[in-house]
Amino acid sequence: MPGREQTPVASSAHERAPGPQQLRTASSVFALLADPTRLHLLWLLAQGERDVTELTAASGAARTAVSQHLAKLRLAGLVHARKEGRRAVYALTDGHLRRLVVEALSHADHQVTGEPWHS
């Protein structure tokens, strides 16, 4: 339909069984998510782009800690930064990561609140 964006179709690569490289890579992503501050930063970025000042204020972590966590996340390819004047604005690299973070925290919410499970 003209004027409407097409939703990208997932490649068939996502449907095949994972190999050793995919399992190692996914494990390293989970290892990065295992830190509460990094997970919080990723959740904040799942809501939209932010700079270090915004991330520091919203997370309550020290600015140096936020910068160090962002450097690890950037090195792992989970976030990227673009320059906007003198500041760097951070964003998640893809929708898979956004959904993973949101689902992990939704799962935790059910465990913490006792809210009934659903599919």
Average pLDDT over every residue of 108-114:
95
Q: Pairing state of beta strands 79-84 and 50-51?
A: unpaired
Contacts of residues 79-88 at CB distance under 8 Å and 24 or more positions apart, as own/partner, are: 79/42, 79/45, 84/51, 87/51, 87/52, 87/53, 88/51, 88/52
Q: Which amino acid is at 103?
A: E
Average pLDDT over every residue of 11-32:
91
Helix H segments across the chain? 20-33, 36-46, 52-59, 63-75, 95-113
Average pLDDT over every residue of 80-86:
96
Question: Domain segments of the chain: what residues?
Answer: 21-113
pLDDT at residue 15, rounded to an integer: 84
**pLDDT of 49-61, one tens digit each?**
999 999 999 999 9
Instruction: Give the Cβ contact number of residue 105 at 10 Å.
Output: 16
Q: What CATH class has 21-113?
A: mainly alpha
pLDDT at residue 93, rounded to an integer: 97
**What integer best gives the mean pLDDT of the chain?**
92
Per-residue pLDDT at 4 exceeds 60: no
